[in-house]
Chain A
Amino acid sequence: MAAIELRGLTKVYPGGVKALDALDLVIPDGEFFALLGPSGCGKTTLLRTIAGLEAASGGSVLIGERDVTGTQPGGRDVAMVFQDYALFPHMDVTDNIAYPLRIKKVDKATRRDKAAEVGARLGLEQLMDRRPGQLSGGQQQRVALARVMATQAQAFLFDEPLSNLDARLRLEARTFLKKLQRELGVTTVFVTHDQAEALAMADRMAVMEAGHIRQIGTPAEVFRRPVNTFVAGFIGSTPMNLLDGLVRGDTLEVAGCKVAVPALAEGRLSDGEKIVYGVRPEYMTYSDEPAEGGIGGKVAIVENLGASHLVTLDVNDVIVQAVVPEGSEPAVGDDGYAVPRSDRALVYRDGELVS
């Protein structure tokens, strides 16, 4: 097991695309770390550069305090699960799982035993003689996991390993993967563009944008206190309300309504300043009656989220959303008021969190 450290890591592809821009990151030993970001932000590139499949254009990669920047992938002692699993189609499950051991020149009997043992651990006993083509997506994923487990590498790198599974299987695999990582205690870097996955599984996570890391923290920190408007807008199954506003004395004017200064920003704002006011729809209390510090408007859309409803208010031509528990949802066209929780609301100045 080993920590992973990146110092000023830069990757410029031939043709001039700067996929990673002077990136610094430390992933402690044994951590389950998620990399999250929109498509094309450089997640796969980062993972491949750690694995050594892409050569860094600048900076360095350290695995277990060893500088591996110039080392071939095979010498870095990491194992990777590819998005398409890359199971060898001409080998059966046993041979696939045992392949890393074959490279290490382990003798055939030991290899088979080890493969059987790892396979059994992942519930593959019945499938050991099959070819990858005869397996379902979920089974293939488990074979791919078994194969990296057999390597006993210092760190695991996963590139969207769940993206090929259907929604239900994905939930199962999520729990399974997290449990497995806990048991093995291997440092794991996990790329995903599904934020629910990152929030649910990671010990810590990083949100990336265009080759930069925009925030690192525990899922709770990233969800509750996004440090800039990019992360604020990206994280959350319903997007955060980000409303332009002005500081007016000791209150804020947002979408033509008066709201209280959030606890976090108290005493840090000056009169007349332009700010962005952020609050998650989940942290809004909805009522039909005018309420103190509430944002009032006409109900434009009501969306069913299952156990709750997402109500979209039209407030002086600004869109404000609030989550309303089931049973008390309003009708379209009603007047509605949404009161932000001031201990959860956030203020951004020039795109950065005021705190």
Chain B
Amino acid sequence: MTPRFVLGRIGFYTLIAVLLAFFTIPLLWLVTAPFTSDPTYEVRMPDFTWENFQAVLEHPYALPSLWNSLVLSVGTALLVVVMAALAAYALSRVRLPGRDALLYALLLLSSIITGTAAMVPLFQLAVELNLIDSQLGLILILTGGLLPAAIFMLKDFMDSTPKSYEESARVFGASPLQIVRHVVVPLVRPGLATIAVWSIANVWGNFLMPYLLLSDVEKQPAAVITYTLYTEGGQANLRMLSTFGLLYSVPVVLMYLFVSKKYGFRFHGGIKR
């Protein structure tokens, strides 16, 4: 080992440490600030108070907004998974002229639908359809935005599962819906779990759409409520913000852990290669 090599290594690890610190400090702040009586922007040793949580509990909209987030994200995820699974299965198994062009066009359009460009027309559409200020309306619009990408990803999954499983079930007399339920869904379960998690995380973190389409504060999700946590003086309320932020992120982290433990595996065998 030459000194040059050693110096190089030291430099490399220092760089990594600095980079890591850059990303860990905000996270550290997030787990310490809620337990500190008077949090600032610094990371400090907390004094383990529960007062901040008390304050969040007493806030009239904080906890309900988390519930709203849950309703919106789970509702959207369910719709996305069911519809994307059926569409992707059909697209994967039925020969359609121009199928790939259709998929790419959908994918391209989807990034526009929930993007800023379509804000005004979407708002007007919702008004016309009487879906303004309705969680169902929001769920439908979010579903529309996520569906194309979900179909695209799931179709890939379906394409890679052998057809002979389904053909075998068909010869035994299974109907197309039975085939989907008994054979296809269990086979692509990891894919469905991925889509569900991705949809939930997407909706959970979405600020713009609910901000735009839900004006009733009782219906707004956590992402929008966070935006309203100010002190009377117009300052960011760090006690509320940090505590609420922590409560807001924990469910998503738990979900990732749970799903990766439960579905982070693949089936092997049954098809001889």
Selected contact of A132 from candidates B178, B270, B273, CB within 8 Å? B270
Q: Which of A237-287 contact B (CB under 8 A)?
A: none
Q: Is the pair A133, B171 in contact by a Cβ cutoff of 8 Å?
A: no
Q: Shortest beta-carbon distance, A187 to chain B, in Å?
A: 15
Q: How far is the CA of A87 from the CA of B175 in the complex (A)?
A: 18
* Partner-contacting stretch, out of B150-158, B162-170, B217-225: B162-170
Q: Which of A92-121 contact B (CB under 8 A)?
A: 99-100, 102-104
Q: Which of B23-55 contact A (CB under 8 A)?
A: none
Say yes or no for A151: interface residue by CB 8 A criterion. Answer: yes
- Residues of A within 8 A of B (CB-CB), count: 35
**Chain A contacts for B182, CB-based, 8 A:** 88, 99, 102
Say yes or no for A220: interface residue by CB 8 A criterion. Answer: no
Q: Is the pair B187, A89 in contact by a Cβ cutoff of 8 Å?
A: yes
Q: How far is the CA of A86 from the CA of B271 in the complex (A)?
A: 5
Say yes or no for B5: interface residue by CB 8 A criterion. Answer: no
Q: Is the pair A86, B186 in contact by a Cβ cutoff of 8 Å?
A: no
- Residues of B within 8 A of A (CB-CB), count: 26
Q: Shortest beta-carbon distance, A154 to chain B, in Å?
A: 12
Q: Known: A53-B167, A90-B187. Is A85-B172 also a contact (CB below 8 A)?
A: no
The chain B residue with its CB closest to the CB of A77 is B173
The chain B residue with its CB closest to the CB of A74 is B173
Q: Known: A84-B162, A84-B164, A90-B186. Is A133-B170 also a contact (CB below 8 A)?
A: no
* Partner-contacting stretch, out of A134-142, A189-197, A310-318: A134-142
**Chain B contacts for A14, CB-based, 8 A:** 95
Q: Known: A53-B170, A82-B164, A133-B269. Is A88-B178 also a contact (CB below 8 A)?
A: no
Say yes or no for A131: interface residue by CB 8 A criterion. Answer: yes
Q: Shortest beta-carbon distance, A129 to chain B, in Å?
A: 15
Q: Is the pair B270, A88 in contact by a Cβ cutoff of 8 Å?
A: yes
The chain A residue with its CB closest to the CB of B170 is A73
Q: Which of B104-124 contact A (CB under 8 A)?
A: none
Q: How far is the CA of A14 from the CA of B96 in the complex (A)?
A: 13
In the assembled complex, 24 residue pairs joining A and B whose CB atoms fall closer than 8 Å, in A order, are A14-B95, A73-B167, A73-B170, A74-B170, A74-B174, A74-B175, A79-B172, A82-B167, A86-B165, A86-B167, A88-B183, A88-B270, A89-B268, A89-B269, A90-B186, A90-B267, A103-B169, A103-B178, A104-B173, A132-B269, A133-B268, A133-B270, A140-B270, A140-B272
Give the A-binding residues of B (Cβ under 8 A): 95, 162, 164-165, 167-175, 178, 182-183, 186-187, 189, 267-273
